[in-house]
Amino acid sequence: MAANIFTNLTTPNGIRYRQPLGLFINNEFIESKSEIARVHAAGVNDVEYAVHAARQAFEGAWSDVAGQDRSRLLYKLADLVEENAQVLAAIESWDNGKPYSTALLEDIPEVVDVFRYYAGWADKSYGQVIQTRGTQLNYTIPEPLGVCGQIIPWNYPIVMASWKVAPALAAGNTVVLKVSEQTPLSALFFASLVAPAGFPPGVINIINGFGAVAGSALASHSDVDKIAFTGSTQTGKEIMKLASSNLKSVTLETGGKSPLIIFNDADLHAAVSAAYPGIMANAGQNCTANSRLLVQEEVYDRFLKLFKAKAVSDAKIGDPFAEDTSQGPQVTQAQFNRILSYVQSGKDEGAKLVHGGKAYKNLNGKGFYLEPTIFTHVTPHMRIYREEIFGPFVVILPFKSEAEAVKMANDTEFGLAAAVFTRDIARAHRITRKIKAGSKLSLVSNALRL
C-alpha cells in the first residue's frame, strides 16, 4: 500500500489522527490516476473499478447476508462512529468550517442515530400475500435494487453520507458514494471504520472527485441500478439526464428557497428564536434554510426589530474551534464571493440592506467570514427573492392576508420546505396543506433536527 495514501494530521484543537487520502474501494484505500493536493480524485477508470467492486459484492457474499446480520453490522458501524466522535467532529469542522461544538454535539450524534435507526429496520422488511381467485398464489417479496450510486454535497458531509449509506445497506444494496471535492476528509476517515465493523469488501465504496468527471461517470454508468443525489437543482437536472441512459431509479434532493410565515397572532420572541437559526445555522449553508421570512404586516416592524437584535446578539463569528463560536466561515472563497455578489444584486435591484452584507474582518484576515445579512423592501422579481443563495442571507417581506401568504410562499421554482408560526392550530393545519413543499413544519423552523 503506497505511503501517500495516508498522512498523519493534527487538527487545530490538538487531535492527532491518521487521515486517509485515497479512494476507498473494495475495503482498501487506493491511489487514483491523478492527485489534488494530498487527496486523490477519481477518474472514469476509478469509478469503473468502484462500481465493479460493488457489483461483485452484491452478487457475491453480500446477497447471502441475512437482515439480522446486516443489522448487526450497521450497529457496529454506529458504535465505531460514536467511539471516534471527537476525531470525526474535528475533521468535519476543519474541512467544512462549521463550529466544532456543532459537529460534535449535533452532526456526529445524528450520524450515529441514523445508522442505528436503519439497523433496526434491516430485518423488518415484509412482503404481502394478495388474495386471488382459485388456486393461484400471489405474493410480493421486497428485494434490494443492487448497486446504488450516491452523490453528496459539502454542507453536511458526514451527515449526508449517513443519510445515503445507511438505508441502502439496510435494504441489502451495495453503494458507491461520491463525496464533495470541497469536503472529502470526514467521509474518508469514516471509510476507515468500514472493514473493522465487519463489512465485506465492495459493499461500501467511497470516492473523491469532481462532479463533471466522477459524478457524471457514476450517474451514467450502466451497471448502477439507482442514483441518489443531493445538491443544486441545475446539477440535479443533469443527473436525471445521465441516469436516463439505462432508466435507473433516481432520487433527487435539490435546491430550496424556503418560506417561514409568521402570522400576527404568533409569539414573536419564539418566532425570532426559531427563524434566526433556521437561516443562519451552518453559516446559512442549509438546503432547507428559511431564507424567505413572510411576516403579517401588523407585526412586521416589531418582528424586524427583534430579528435584527438577534443577529447582533447571537452572531458569534469566529474560529470554528473556539467554544463560543456560533458561525464559522463559508466553505470556500467561491461561495463567499457568490454570496457577496447577491448583496450587490439586491442593492442594484432596489432592495434595502438593513444589516450585514459584508465580510467579517476581525479574524486576522483569515477565512471567508460573512456577517448575517438582512434585506427588506424586496419584491418577488428580484434575484435575492427567487434564487438560492446558500449563505447567512435572508429577505423579510410583509403580507396582508392568509391567501397572500400562501401565494407568496408558493411563488418559487423550488418546493423543499416551509414553516408556519401562529397560535391558531386550525390555521396552521390549513396553511401547511396549501403550501407546496415536501417538508412542512408548524411552530418550529427548518433548523429543527427531527
pLDDT of residue 169: 98
Contact 369, 363 (CB under 8 A): yes
Helix 85-96 × helix 67-83 angle, to 10°: 70
* Grid cell listed for 321: 474551534
- Could you list the active site residues? 253
pLDDT of residue 5: 81
- From start to end of 125-225, where are the E strands? 128-130, 138-140, 147-151, 174-178, 204-207
pLDDT of residue 23: 82
pLDDT of residue 3: 54
pLDDT of residue 34: 41
Contact 399, 295 (CB under 8 A): yes
Distance CA 52, CA 411 (A): 44
Paired with 229 in beta bridges are 151, 252
Convert 110-140 to b/e letters by CB count within 10 Å (16 or more is b): bbbebbbebbebbeeeeeeeeeeeeeeeeee
C-alpha torsion sign, points 211, 215, 219, 222:
positive
pLDDT of residue 382: 98
Return the number of other C-beta atoms located less than 10 Å from residue 198's C-beta.
Answer: 11
pLDDT of residue 450: 46
Convert 295-311 to b/e letters by CB count within 10 Å (16 or more is b): bbeebbeebbebbbebb
Contact 222, 246 (CB under 8 A): yes
Ranges of the chain with pLDDT below 70: 1-3, 30-39, 362-365, 443-450
Q: Which residues contact 341 (CB under 8 A, 6 or more apart)?
A: none
* 151 DSSP 8-state letter: E
Distance CA 35, CA 40 (A): 4
DSSP string for residues in 61-121 = GGGG--HHHHHHHHHHHHHHHHHTHHHHHHHHHHHH---HHHIIIIIHHHHHHHHHHHHHH
pLDDT of residue 274: 94
pLDDT of residue 365: 66
Long-range CB contacts for residues 421-427, cutoff 8 Å, separation at least 24 = 421/260, 421/261, 421/262, 421/263, 421/266, 421/267, 421/270, 421/271, 421/274, 421/275, 422/261, 422/262, 422/263, 422/265, 422/266, 423/265, 423/266, 423/267, 424/263, 424/265, 427/263, 427/402
0.75 cut: is pTM over it?
Answer: yes
State how far the alpha carbon of 391 is from the alpha carbons of 181, 226, 231, 302, in Å: 19, 31, 15, 24
For residue 252, report the phi and psi dihedrals to the nearest 5 degrees: -125, 130
pLDDT of residue 345: 98
Residue for grid cell 465504496: 205
pLDDT of residue 53: 98
Return the number of other C-beta atoms located less than 10 Å from residue 218's C-beta.
Answer: 30
Question: In what helix (H) or strand (E) does residue 245 lie, and over which residues does it extend?
Answer: none
Domains of the chain: 3-253 (3.40.605.10), 259-442 (3.40.309.10)
